[in-house]
Amino acid sequence: RSSAEKFEFQAEVSRLMDIIINSLYSNKDIFLRELISNASDALDKIRFLSLTDKEVLGEGDTAKLEIQIKLDKEKKILSIRDRGIGMTKEDLIKNLGTIAKSGTSAFVEKMQSGGDLNLIGQFGVGFYSVYLVADYVEVVSKHNDDKQYVWESKADGSFAISEDTWNEPLGRGTEIRLHLRDEAKEYLEEDKLKDLVKKYSEFINFPIYLWSTKEVDVEVPADEEETSEDEDSTPETTEEEETEDGEEKEKKPKTKTIKETTSEWELLNDVKAVWLRSPKEVTDEEYSKFYHSLAKDFGDDKPMAWSHFTAEGDVEFKALLFVPPKAPHDLYESYYNNNKSNLKLYVRRVFISDEFDDLLPKYLNFLKGIVDSDTLPLNVSREMLQQHSSLKTIKKKLIRKALDMIRKLAEEDPDEYSNKDKTDEEKSEMEEKKGQYAKFWNEFGKSIKLGIIEDATNRNRLAKLLRFESTKSDGKLVSLDEYISRMKAGQKDIFYITGTSKEQLEKSPFLERLTKKNYEVIYFTDPVDEYLMQYLMDYEDKKFQNVSKEGLKLGKDSKLKDLKESFKELTDWWKKALENENVDSVKISNRLHNTPCVVVTSKYGWSANMEKIMQAQTL
């Protein structure tokens, strides 16, 4: 078209498209799920705007919030239309080609190292999956603020945009037309599409229709010859029906049944909200599938855990929280600048936002889920809603439920200490759950530690979830409760040591005597552990003692006092000799066994490990 404006795809986007086009990935079905998910997002957006401005919806069909799929077998076109928010010309340029999202290059990298294309939606580039099945794509779109435009591309490095003067006006929304490749002909079969929608889009909250062709039985008057013989006579085959009161009914003419093809919109999904159903009625498989569609995480793994509950009282809401099977690629990126939780907020079933600030504290942002509240007002702006006083209560309850869910995950794990006295039968039932908490800990342990640092209210609850290795853990993970249960008689403090690795710590002279005397010492080897231990002062009335710091007490040693006396001259001399080296004091102690002396950190000073961490950060 002569009026079309041409644009180059942004370089990363172009690379991504090349990868998709040349992909040998066999599961090409995913494009449909991505398109339906985009249509649903667009519908959510217009519905949200309509809460404060009814006008935006328009009239008649334009106001219908639905998704329509149509096939053109002859032209080999599959089109998907929504009456969502639509895209302005500028939106089309930016969203579909010129602005790479942060996920674009991350996804390209993933794909180059053999990643799974199925995860495309999580990286925010799902749209481009259309090129798995199409070699030419048109996007017709109408936004309330602009005219109707067509975006088109053959994925050859560029796309074109033209004002639409030839298609039927959409009213509002977007129609995506896929000109299918020969190998993708199967997507012109209605049954195939029905199956796919059922499989992938079960939890879409808008009706999805397919323009489907049916053979139907139609009653038509029987052939001429039979009835025209004697027009006035009553055909013998016509039955005389009598009603109960004996009234004579009109006589039916003779008819016959023939097959005819008709087309009509067929509804493919039943729009149901899983979270509104009773937890008793929802199967594990349904929860799992709902998680996949919610999180756009279509890997093979099930979520590690979920919690589905209704909160009652002043603030009423329903919520469904999930622990994902894996941490997302960017979980701790820009951790401190990002308040956005991964929960979708609904008010009375209307989607409000999936980027709501502060629904959960930062450290729980690894959770996915939805919150649907009846208490929050519907007809206010997002900003107003963000300020609403109920949110504090919702947040508090969500935290409590989330921590409960994680605690249960640990308790149900037969590898965990708390299940030691289960019967054999119970144990075999739990075989499947073996090691699940270790798996959780590997993926999200750091979040629990950040929680201990940030959330003073729930510090003790979070400390219960803490796991670590120790001088006695034998390669397994240990909890504080387990540590306490095997403390030696007379031991008052919980001993720990910090460093860069277990191997390095095992050789530490600070452990010599403790190990000899059979005390257990916790290894903290994550840089965040140093910060953690500045916040975690005690647990169940036991203080934490860093064994490389001043204050280590290993029970009474009667000889120590005498030794201190007799070596006083030496320690005094030593202190003087080190006068310029920032040494607080030189002491005789019973903490060593083979090593003659060690440098110990003062009680409130930075441990040697912390010094190292700080140095690494400033260099």
CA distance 511 to 332: 33
Q: By C-beta, is 84 or 303 nearer to ligand ADP? A: 84
The site map against ligand ADP for 66-95 (x = CB under 6 A) is ----------------x-xxxx-------x
Residue 43 near residue 84 (C-beta atoms within 8 A): yes
The site that binds Mg ion (CB under 5 A) totals a number of residues, namely 2
CA 506, CA 189: separation in Å to the nearest integer? Answer: 65
95 binds, among ligand ADP, Mg ion, none (CB under 5 to 8 A by kind): ligand ADP
Q: Least separation, in Å, of the C-beta of 406 and Mg ion?
A: 30
Smallest distance from the beta carbon of 45 to ligand ADP, in angstroms?
Answer: 8
User: Binding string, 96-125, against ligand ADP, x = CB under 6 A?
Assistant: x---------------------------xx
Q: Which does 319 bind (CB under 5 to 8 A by kind): ligand ADP, Mg ion, none?
A: none
57 and 88 Cβ atoms separated by less than 8 Å: no
- Determine if 601 is a binding residue for Mg ion (CB under 5 A): no
Q: What is the dihedral of CA 351, 357, 360, 364, to 10 degrees?
A: 110
| Smallest separation, CB 153 to ligand ADP (Å) | 13
Q: How far is the CB of 437 from ligand ADP (least distance, A)?
A: 32
Contact pattern from residue 35 through residue 64 relative to ligand ADP, giving x for each residue in contact according to CB under 6 A and a dash for the rest: ---xx-xx----------------------
Shortest Å distance, C-beta 2 to ligand ADP: 27
**Beta strand 134-142 pairing with 148-153:** antiparallel
Query: Which alpha helices (H) appear in 380-472, and where do they start and end?
Result: 382-386, 390-411, 424-429, 436-454, 459-464
Contact 91, 103 (CB under 8 A): no
CB of 136 to ligand ADP, least distance (A): 17
Residue 82 touches which member of ligand ADP, Mg ion, none, C-beta under 5-8 Å by kind: ligand ADP
Stretch that binds Mg ion, among 119-127, 148-156, 403-411, 499-507 (CB under 5 A): 119-127
Tell whether residue 30 is a contact of ligand ADP (CB under 6 A): no
Asked if residue 455 binds ligand ADP (CB under 6 A), the reply is: no
Shortest Å distance, C-beta 126 to ligand ADP: 3
**Which H or E run contains 293?**
helix 284-295
CA distances from 17 to 10, 96, 105, 128 (A): 11, 11, 12, 7
**506 closest CA partner among 469, 554, 467:** 469
The nearer residue to ligand ADP, 81 or 446, going by C-beta atoms, is: 81
Q: Residues near 271 by Cβ (< 8 Å), separated by ≥ 6?
A: 204, 205, 206, 207
Phi, psi dihedral angles at 267 (to 5 degrees)? -75, 130
CA angle at residue 333 from 331 to 339, to 5 degrees? 80
Amino acid occupying residue 154: K
N- to C-terminal Cα separation, the chain: 58
Main-chain dihedrals φ then ψ at residue 213, nearest 5 degrees: -100, 130
Nearest distance, CB of residue 103 and ligand ADP, angstroms? 8
- What the block records as the tokens of 73 is 């077998």
Contacts with 348 (C-beta within 8 Å, 6 or more apart), sequence order: 372, 373, 374, 378
- Tell me: does residue 414 bind Mg ion (CB under 5 A): no
Assess 174 for contact with ligand ADP (CB under 6 A): yes
d(Cα 186, Cα 26) in Å, to the nearest integer?
A: 13
Q: Does 126 bind Mg ion (CB under 5 A)?
A: yes
Cα–Cα distance measured from residue 90 to residue 98, given in angstroms and rounded to the nearest whole number: 10
Question: What backbone phi and psi angles, to 5 degrees, belong to 221?
Answer: -60, 145
* Of 504, 585, 601, 505, residue with least CA distance to 550: 601
Q: Which amino acid is at 299?
A: G
Closest CB to Mg ion among residues 38, 342: 38
Among the listed residues 16, 28, 38, 341, the single contact to Mg ion using CB under 5 A: 38
Smallest distance from ligand ADP to CB 370, Å: 17
Joined tokens for residue 4: 């079309």
Q: Does 9 bind ligand ADP (CB under 6 A)?
A: no
Q: Quick one: which segment of 34-42, 457-465, 476-484, 583-591 binds Mg ion (CB under 5 A)?
A: 34-42
| Residue 413 beta carbon to Mg ion: minimum distance, rounded to whole angstroms | 35
CB 287 within 8 A of CB 370: no
Query: Binding of Mg ion at residue 84 (CB under 5 A)?
Result: no
406 binds, among Mg ion, ligand ADP, none (CB under 5 to 8 A by kind): none
Total binding residues for ligand ADP by CB under 6 A? 17
The site partner of 164 among Mg ion, ligand ADP, none (C-beta below 5 to 8 Å per kind) is: none
Query: With CB under 5 A as the contact rule, which of the stretches 38-46, 151-159, 176-184, 267-275 interacts with Mg ion?
Result: 38-46
The stretch among 37-45, 84-92, 338-346, 582-590 that binds Mg ion (CB under 5 A) is: 37-45
Binding site partner of 42, from ligand ADP, Mg ion, none, Cβ cut-off 5-8 A by kind: ligand ADP
Q: Are 187 and 193 in contact (CB under 8 A)?
A: yes
Q: Which residues are bridge partners to 306 per DSSP?
A: 322
Does position 605 interact with ligand ADP (CB under 6 A)? The reply is no
Residue 34 Cβ vs ligand ADP, minimum distance, rounded to whole Å: 6
Give the residue among 74, 187, 172 at the shortest CA–CA distance from 129. Answer: 187
Nearest approach in angstroms of CB 292 to ligand ADP is 15
Which residues contact ligand ADP by CB under 6 A? 34, 38-39, 41-42, 82, 84-87, 95-96, 124-127, 174
Which residues contact Mg ion by CB under 5 A? 38, 126
